[in-house]
Amino acid sequence: MPRRTKTEEGHLKTAVLDLLAADKIYALRVNSGDLLLTAPNGKKRLVKLAPKGTADVLAIVPNEEHTFMPLWLETKSKRGTLTPEQESFRNEVEARGHAYLVVTDTDQIMEWLKWFRSRD
């Protein structure tokens, strides 16, 4: 079943996930923030997702030595910029040794993968 997307960033997220799947890289779409849901009985329930600022996609990228690099991907339109929460998240995961990319097209991911795989 094809995914439905309505925004430029939505199309990019789909392309990113498709690229990673084609390369057999395990990846998860991460939703952040809170959702207020209403049950059929009218009661409301707050559902907490990942913290605000969490990147859109987490990919677990293997290398030749069978170790893995967490790669966080924040998708942005050509004119998009990081929010303060996104900058804070980037700083936190990079301090832990993870990789973080702001991507506006899938070529950036392919370039990073080529660089990562050539380090061995």
pLDDT digits (tens, 9 = 90+) for 80-120: 899 999 999 999 999 999 999 999 999 999 999 999 988 75
Please report, for the domain that includes residue 20, its CATH number: 3.40.1350.10
| Per-residue pLDDT at 1 exceeds 70 | no
- The tens digit of pLDDT for each residue in 13-34 reads 999 999 999 999 999 999 998 9
Q: Quick check: is 44 in a domain?
A: yes
Q: Which residues partner with 99 through β-bridges?
A: 71
| Per-residue pLDDT at 4 exceeds 80 | no
Residue 103 neighbours by CB under 8 Å, 6+ apart:
12, 16, 73, 74, 75, 76, 109
Farthest-apart Cα atoms in the chain, separation: 57
**Residue 77, domain extent:** 8-118
Query: Per residue in 21-38, is it b (16+ CB within 10 Å) or e — as a string?
Result: eeeebebeeeebeeeeee
| Per-residue pLDDT at 77 exceeds 80 | yes
- Predicted confidence at residue 9, as pLDDT, reads 77
- Entry pTM: 0.84
- Predicted confidence at residue 55, as pLDDT, reads 97
Q: Quick check: is 23 in a domain?
A: yes
Overall number of domains in the chain: 1
Of 94, 53, 92, whose CA–CA distance to 74 is shortest?
Answer: 53
